Structure 1
Amino acid sequence: MPEAHEPVEAPHPHLNADEQHLAKLGYKQELSRTWSGFSNFAISFSIISILAGCLTTYGAGIANGGPISISWSWPIISMFILIIGFTMSELVSSMPTSGGIYYWASKLGGARAGFFTGWLNLIGLVAVTASVAYGCATFFELTFLEWGWYDTFSLNRVFVFFVVVLALITLINIFSSHLLALLNNISVWWHVVGAAVLIGVLLVVPDQHLSVSQVFTDKFNGSGWDGGSTGSLAFFFVIIPFGFILTQYTITGFDASVHLSEETQGAAKAAAQGLWRSIFYSAIGGYLLLLAVTFAIPQVDGKPDYASIPAGGVAYVFDASLGANWAGTLLFISASAQLFCATACLTSTSRMMFAFSRDRAVPGSRLWSKVNARRTPVNAVVCAAVIGGIITLPALKSVNGIPTAFYAVVSVSVIGLYFSFAIPIFLRWRHGDKFQVGGWNNGSKYKWMNPVAVVEILVVGIMLMLPTVPAGAPWRDEFDWASVNYAPIMTVGVLLLLAIWWSVSAKNWFTGPVQTIDQAVVDAFDD
Structure 2
Amino acid sequence: MTAIRPRKRHHDDRAVVLDDDATLHAMGYPRKLTRRFRTFDNFAISFTIINVISGIFSAFGYGMGAGGPLILVFGWIGVSLMVLFVGAAMGEIASAYPTSGALYFSAGKLAKRHRGAWSWYTGWLNFVGQIGGTAATGYAAATFIQAFIVMQWPGYQVTGHRTVAITTVILLLQALANTYTVQLVAALNRISVWWLVIGVTIIVLSLALIPTDHQSVDFSTHFVNNTGFSNAVYAAMLGLLVSSWTFTGFDGSFHMSEETVKATVSTPKGIMWSIACSAIAGLILMIALVCAIRDYATTASSSAPPVRILIDALGAGTARLLLLIVIGAMLFCGLANMTSNTRQIFAFARDGAMPGSRWWHSVSPRTRTPVKAVWLAAGCSFVLITPAWWSHTVFAAIVSVNVVGLYLAYGVPIYLRLRLGDEFQRGPWHLGRWGRPVARTAVAWIVFSSVLFMLPHSSPITHTTFNYAPIALGVVLLVAAAWWFARARRSFQGPVSYGSPDEVAAMDLI
In structure 1, the partner of 2:37 is: 35
Q: In the aligned structure 1, how far is the partner of 2:263 from the partner of 2:409?
A: 21
Q: In the aligned structure 2, how far is the partner of 1:248 from the partner of 1:505?
A: 36
1:220 to 220, 224, 243: 224
Does residue 242 of structure 2 align to residue 246 of structure 1? yes
Aligned partner letter, 1:254: F
Aligned partner letter, 1:510: F
Q: In the aligned structure 2, how far is the partner of 1:16 from the partner of 1:189?
A: 29
Pair 309,261 (structure 1): closer, same or farther in 2 beyond 3 Å: farther
Q: Tell me the secondary structure at the aligned position of residue 422 of structure 1.
A: helix
1:330 Cα shift? 1.2
In structure 2, the partner of 1:433 is: 422
1:153 to 158, 172, 176: 158
Q: Tell me the secondary structure at the aligned position of residue 53 of structure 2.
A: coil
Does residue 169 of structure 2 align to residue 164 of structure 1? yes
**Aligned CA-pair RMSD:** 2.0
In structure 2, the partner of 1:485 is: 467
Q: In the aligned structure 2, how far is the partner of 1:363 from the partner of 1:522?
A: 24
1:296 to 292, 296, 299: 292
In structure 2, the partner of 1:73 is: 75
Q: In the aligned structure 1, how far is the partner of 2:383 from the partner of 2:434?
A: 42
In structure 1, the partner of 2:313 is: 321
1:350 Cα shift? 0.4
Q: In the aligned structure 1, how far is the partner of 2:400 from the partner of 2:332?
A: 21
1:9 Cα shift? 5.3
1:11 Cα shift? 8.0
Q: In the aligned structure 1, how far is the partner of 2:120 from the partner of 2:172?
A: 30
1:4 Cα shift? 4.9
Give the alignment of 1:14-413 within 5 angstroms. 17-109=19-111, 110-148=115-153, 150-215=155-220, 217-226=221-230, 234-236=231-233, 238-299=234-295, 304-305=296-297, 308-309=300-301, 311-373=303-365, 374-397=367-390, 403-413=392-402
Pair 36,177 (structure 1): closer, same or farther in 2 beyond 3 Å: farther
Pair 179,520 (structure 1): closer, same or farther in 2 beyond 3 Å: same
Pair 445,336 (structure 1): closer, same or farther in 2 beyond 3 Å: same
Aligned partner letter, 1:322: L
1:166 Cα shift? 0.5
Q: In the aligned structure 1, how far is the partner of 2:400 from the partner of 2:48?
A: 20
1:517 Cα shift? 4.8
In structure 2, the partner of 1:504 is: 486
1:153 Cα shift? 3.2
1:116 Cα shift? 0.4
Cα pair 1:146 1:327 within 8 Å, conserved: no
Please, which runs of 5 or more residues in structure 2 have no aligned partner?
A: none
Q: Tell me the secondary structure at the aligned position of residue 305 of structure 1.
A: helix
1:155 Cα shift? 3.3
Q: Tell me the secondary structure at the aligned position of residue 52 of structure 2.
A: coil
> Which string of whole-angstrom CA distances, capped at 9 and with x for unpartnered residues, describes residues 454-511 of structure 1?
111111111111121224x3xxxxx22x332110001122222322222222111101
Cα pair 1:22 1:29 within 8 Å, conserved: yes
In structure 2, the partner of 1:230 is: none
2:454 to 439, 460, 465: 465
Aligned partner letter, 1:318: L
Q: In the aligned structure 1, how far is the partner of 2:181 from the partner of 2:25?
A: 24
Pair 491,8 (structure 1): closer, same or farther in 2 beyond 3 Å: farther
Q: In the aligned structure 2, how far is the partner of 1:335 from the partner of 1:470?
A: 31
Cα pair 1:105 1:114 within 8 Å, conserved: yes
TM-score of the aligned structures, taking structure 2 as reference length: 0.94
Q: In the aligned structure 2, how far is the partner of 1:519 from the partner of 1:48?
A: 35
1:40 Cα shift? 0.3
1:2 Cα shift? 2.8
Bigger mean CA offset, 509-518 vs 122-131:
509-518
Bigger mean CA offset, 240-249 vs 180-189:
240-249
1:518 Cα shift? 4.8
Cα pair 1:35 1:178 within 8 Å, conserved: no
Cα pair 2:161 2:388 within 8 Å, conserved: no
Please, which runs of 5 or more residues in structure 1 have no aligned partner?
A: 227-233, 474-478
Pair 79,95 (structure 1): closer, same or farther in 2 beyond 3 Å: same
Bigger mean CA offset, 440-449 vs 279-288:
440-449
Cα pair 1:62 1:309 within 8 Å, conserved: no
Cα pair 1:174 1:381 within 8 Å, conserved: yes
Q: Tell me the secondary structure at the aligned position of residue 440 of structure 1.
A: coil
- Percent identical pairs in the alignment equals 37
Cα pair 1:93 1:268 within 8 Å, conserved: yes
Cα pair 1:144 1:328 within 8 Å, conserved: no
> Which string of whole-angstrom CA distances, capped at 9 and with x for unpartnered residues, describes residues 164-192 of structure 1?
11111011111354322211000000000
1:394 Cα shift? 2.1
1:222 Cα shift? 1.8
Cα pair 1:28 1:517 within 8 Å, conserved: no
Runs of 4+ displaced beyond 6 Å: none
> Which string of whole-angstrom CA distances, capped at 9 and with x for unpartnered residues, describes residues 305-338 of structure 1?
3663564321122222222111111111010011
Q: In the aligned structure 1, how far is the partner of 2:285 from the partner of 2:444?
A: 28
Q: Tell me the secondary structure at the aligned position of residue 149 of structure 2.
A: helix
> Which string of whole-angstrom CA distances, capped at 9 and with x for unpartnered residues, describes residues 235-276 of structure 1?
11x111112221111111000000000000010000110001
TM-score of the aligned structures, taking structure 1 as reference length: 0.91
Bigger mean CA offset, 439-448 vs 117-126:
439-448
Q: In the aligned structure 1, how far is the partner of 2:253 from the partner of 2:245?
A: 17
Pair 88,341 (structure 1): closer, same or farther in 2 beyond 3 Å: same
Pair 124,344 (structure 1): closer, same or farther in 2 beyond 3 Å: same
Q: Tell me the secondary structure at the aligned position of residue 392 of structure 1.
A: helix
Q: Tell me the secondary structure at the aligned position of residue 454 of structure 2.
A: coil
Cα pair 2:256 2:340 within 8 Å, conserved: yes
Aligned partner letter, 1:235: A
